[in-house]
Amino acid sequence: MNLLKSLLFFIVLLVLSRLIPHPPNFTPLIAGAVFLPFMLKERTLIIGLPILCLFISDLIIGFHSLMLWTYGAFLIIGLTVFNIS
């Protein structure tokens, strides 16, 4: 139950961080994706959670033509960080 609350808090925090204005080159979603393997050990959550946050925020912001490249970059980040940690 504690892990579920932590994951829900993490998802809400990352989605909100994408919706509020922030300085250029400041991406809390990437920082969260890099930090996630140190919090979790399950590969599907490490890779899927940042992509889920992107998708939820894209539902609110709107979809764009470069979505596949953005989601692919987060997939590569998740795989790389999982293999390093």
Do 45 and 33 contact (CB within 8 A), yes or no? no
Positive/negative CA dihedral, 42, 32, 18, 8:
positive
Q: State mean pLDDT over 38-45.
A: 87
Domain of residue 52 covers 44-85
In-domain check, residue 12: no
How many residues would you count in the chain? Answer: 85
User: How would residue 65 be classed by pLDDT, with cut points 50, 70 and 90?
Assistant: very high
Number of domains present in the structure of the chain:
1
| 13-23 residue pLDDT tens | 999 998 888 88
**Distance, CA of 49 to CA of 11 (rounded, Å):** 7
Do 20 and 58 contact (CB within 8 A), yes or no? no
In-domain check, residue 63: yes
**Distance, CA of 33 to CA of 84 (rounded, Å):** 13
- The most confident of the ranges 22-36, 37-51, 64-78 is 64-78
What is the CB neighbour count within 10 angstroms for residue 8?
10
In-domain check, residue 24: no
Residue type present at position 41: K
In-domain check, residue 38: no
pLDDT given at position 77? 92
User: How would residue 59 be classed by pLDDT, with cut points 50, 70 and 90?
Assistant: very high
In-domain check, residue 55: yes
pLDDT given at position 21? 87
